[in-house]
Amino acid sequence: MTAPTLPGLEPAPTLVAPRPGSRAARMALPRSIDVLKDIAIEYGVCVRPLAMRRTDLNTGLTEVIDLPCGATREDKCAPCAKKNRRLRQAQIREGWHRDDEPLPPPDPATEEQKALVLLRGHLEFSRDEASRASQWDQVTDLDEAIQEVEEVIAAEGLRGRVAALRSTPPGTTTAAPPGMPSTSPAC
C-alpha cells in the first residue's frame, strides 16, 4: 500500500511522448529552416542572402547568385553584422574617419645616418665613463666631439636631437665667486 500524499504535493505527472504521426509529434521536430540558419551562423555565412541574376554578355548565360545582405544589426543577420563591425574597426584604425589626410611617414634612415647615431651613442657612453672617473678634460673633449657629431647628424638630414642637451660638467659652476656681486635679476 502506498502512503497517502498531502493535498498539493502530488507527484509531477510524467510526460507522455505524443503519438507518432500526430500534430504534436510533428511540432516537436526541429524546423529545417532553423537548422539551416544555425549552420549558416556557425560557419559565418549570411542567413538572408539576396538573390541576384547575372547575365554573361558574351555567352548570354544567365545564372542566379546569392550576395550577402550586408546587414549592420545583429538581430537581422549576425554573420553580416559581425563582418561589417570588423570592417568598421579596421577602417577606424586606418584613419578613414579623419577629416584631414595624415602626413606621410618619414623616409627610412640611411646606413650613414644610422652609423652617425651609433657613433654618437659610443661618444655618449665614453663621456659618462669619463665623468664617473672625474676626468674632466676628457669630458670637455668628448662634449666637443658630441657637438660636432650632432652638427653632422643635422646636416645629414635627420630631424630632432638624439639626446637632451647636457648641463655644465659636475666640476664646474655657474655661480659667481664669493665676494662678487650676482648679476642675476632679483625677484
Q: Indicate whether 38 belongs to any domain.
A: no
115 and 89 in a common domain? no
Cα 133 from Cα 142, distance rounded (Å): 14
Cα 71 from Cα 181, distance rounded (Å): 80
pLDDT reported for residue 118: 92
Is 158 within 8 Å of 109 (Cβ atoms)?
yes
**Is residue 50's pLDDT more than 80?**
yes
The residue type at 13: P
**Is residue 179's pLDDT more than 70?**
no
**Is residue 104's pLDDT more than 90?**
no
Look up the pTM and report it: 0.41
By C-alpha distance, which of 74, 81, 78 is closest to 40?
78
More confidently predicted of 10 and 135: 135
Number of domains present in the structure of the chain: 2
CB half-sphere exposure, 154, CA atoms < 13 A: 9
Q: Which domain holds residue 122?
A: 111-156
Q: Which residues pair with 66 in a beta bridge?
A: 51
121 and 93 in a common domain? no
Q: What is the mean pLDDT of the segment spanning 14-34?
A: 84
Q: Indicate whether 173 belongs to any domain.
A: no
**Is residue 174's pLDDT more than 70?**
no
